Structure 1
C-alpha cells in the first residue's frame, strides 16, 4: 500500500517512543497492580477454603456459593483492568489504521476508509483524503485506545476506539468528515449508534464522498444480522435467511440505515466518484 508520499518522521521519534513507553507502562502498571491484588485475594480464598474444609465441614456449601460469586467477579474485573491504554502515534498507515511508537498497529473499530494503492490495485476514491484527515487528527499525538470486546483482528492489529486527550473521538470525526463509512461488526458495537448519527450528518451535509451523490436506482439485498448489503446476483445474497433479508432501492438508503458493502460482492468502491481537484 502506498504511504501517500509521507516522509518517515525521524525527528521526534525517540521522544514519541519515550512518551508512549511511559504512558503504556502507566496503563500496564495499573493493570498489573489490579491483577496482583486479585491474585492475593485468590490465594487468600484458597487458604480459607482449606481451613473450612478441615475445621468446618458444615460450611462447605456456603463457601462454595461464595467462591462462585468471587470467580464471577474475578472474570469481570480482569478484562476491565486492561480495556484502556495510551499510545503515541508515529505513523499513519491509511484512513483507519495507525502504527504506534512501539510498533503496534491499531485498526479503528466500526469504520472503514477507502483503500490506498496496493500491489496492482490503484488507490480508491477519497483514500488520500481519508489518510490526510487521519494524519491531521492523530499524527505524532498521544491517544487513548479503548480496546473492543474483540481486542484484535486476524492480522494481529489492535481493534480500538481512539480518543484524543481533548476528548475528540477519532473514529467519529473521520465518519463525520465524509472520508469513512460505518462498518458495524459484532461484538464491537458499543458506539454503533453514535457513528451512524455522524454518518447521517455527513450525508445530509454532502461532505467528502457524499458530495454531489448520484441517487441512481440500484436494488440491493441487505442482511439485517450482519449489516452488510449485496448485489441481488451475489451468491451470498441468496443465502440470507428470509427473516434477515432487507431490500434497498439504492445505495444511499443502505448507507443511511447503517449497512456496509459486503466485501465478497463489493471488493472495491465503484460507487464513489473521484474527489474534485
Structure 2
C-alpha cells in the first residue's frame, strides 16, 4: 500500500496536463517544440523584465539598467525580429488571439527574458527590435515560427537569425502547423 498514493498523484498530474492541453491546445504545442536545434542566448544578451505581451510579436519590458543591447531605462516595447503575428484588435486577423496567448505563455508577466538586438536597433515607431529568449532558454522568435503561431518576416538588414527562422517556417508550413492550417 505504500506505493499507491504516489500512483494517484502521478495519475492526477497526467490528468492535469491532458486537461491543460484540452483547454488551451497551444500550451502543449509550444512546450513540445524541440529546443536542441535552437541557439542559446548569446553572451551579450540583456536581461529585461516582462511587463505585458501586447500581441504575438510585441512585448513591453522593464529595463532596470542600460546594457550592450538596450540603452534605455524604464518601460520599453520590443518588436520581435523576423516574425509577423496576426493583428488585432482592429482587424481581428485569423490566429491573432492564439499568437498573443502563446507568446504570453512563453513570457509570463514578471519573468526575465533575454534580448539581443541586430543592425537596426529601433523601428520608425520607436520600438526596440530584438531576438528574445525566455528565462528557460527557449529562442522565442523561433519557437513561435516553428509551431506555426506566427509567420516569418524578413527584416533586412536585421537577419542574424533569418536562416533559422526561414527553416523553421518551411517545416511548420509542411506540417500545416498552427495558422498554416487554421487560416486560409
Q: CA deviation at 1:97?
A: 0.1
Shift of 1:134: 0.5
Q: CA deviation at 1:164?
A: 1.7
Partner of residue 123 from structure 1, selected from 72, 89, 92: 92
Distance in 1 of aligned mates of 2:86 and 2:136:
27
Distance (Å, rounded) in 2 between the aligned partners of 1:177 and 1:85 = 25
Of 125, 139, 151, 1:169 maps to: 139
**Structure 1: runs of 5+ lacking an equivalent:** 1-80, 213-271
Instruction: State the TM-score, normalizing by the size of structure 2.
Output: 0.67
Partner residue of 2:45? 84
**Structure 1 residue aligned with 2:61:** 100
SS in structure 2 opposite 1:87?
Answer: strand
Kindly report which structure 2 residues correspond to 1:15-26, keeping only aligned pairs within 5 A, or say none. Answer: none
Which structure has the larger Rg?
A: 1
Comparing both structures, which one devotes a greater share of its residues to helix?
Answer: 1
Runs of 4+ in 1 over 3 A off after TM superposition: none
Q: Helix, strand or coil for the counterpart of 1:148?
A: coil
Query: SS state of the match for residue 52, structure 2?
Result: strand
The CA distance in 1 between the partners of 2:179 and 2:134, in whole Å, is 24
- Of 123, 128, 141, 1:153 maps to 123
Indicate the RMSD between aligned Cα atoms, in angstroms.
Answer: 1.6
Count of residue correspondences:
130
| Paired residue secondary structure (1:160) | strand
Find out whether 1:109 has 2:81 as its counterpart.
Answer: yes
TM-score by length of 1: 0.45
